[in-house]
Structure 1
Amino acid sequence: MPDEPMSECLRALHLTIVQHASSCTTVGGPNTLKRSEMKDVQRTLQNFFETAKHLFVELGACAADFFIRETVAFLRTKSSSFQDLQLDMADTAVETLLALFRVTPIEEACQ
């Protein structure tokens, strides 16, 4: 994956996937999710990345970066009212996604 052309934003999203995958292998810890929720988060991140990568190939870096930036922003603004958020994920999985986005440089990379 690192040899493929990617924008900095797309690289940051890939880093988020790698960090989450490595944290899933850590046993215990304060943020341990049920196995199915961990899989949901990983699958969601992978789908998010694949969609952004497709946009990068078809429309360029600006489109992919915009998609990533706006998706993260949407999740942040909607996270306080889960009843308005139409996701097929548990609330804890959404919170895990948001926590991952807080500790990775996605938004800085998408500027």
Structure 2
Amino acid sequence: MDKQMIAVEVVYALADKQKLLRLAVPQGTSVREAALRSGMDGYFPGLDLATSPLGIFGKAVPKPDERTLVEGERVEIYRPLIADPKEVRKQRAAKAAQNKAGESGEAVT
């Protein structure tokens, strides 16, 4: 007996290019398997679908090889972070404090 097919989407984006693909996959397909079936690496050379972090609707999936998809879900392929967001916020806050202290003539500690 054939497995029932479900419709899912797989998306990936760079700063200047994005791609959304709609797929019909067998029920029971894992998040990782859907990413691999999408062929997204053909549109984005260098993209490693076997190891890329994945998510569903903006939430990271810790075990994408184990999590199975349901009808209508969107698999998101994440890029590696260039900088740690917490560190960037910390640097931005320090710079703002320095600029504010410079305007008021106070010493920054």
What TM-score comes out, normalization by structure 2 length? Answer: 0.28
Greater percentage in strand: 2
Greater percentage in helix: 1
The one of the two structures with greater contact order (alpha-carbon pairs below 8 A, sep at least 6) is: 1
Question: Rg larger in 1 or in 2?
Answer: 2
What TM-score comes out, normalization by structure 1 length? Answer: 0.28
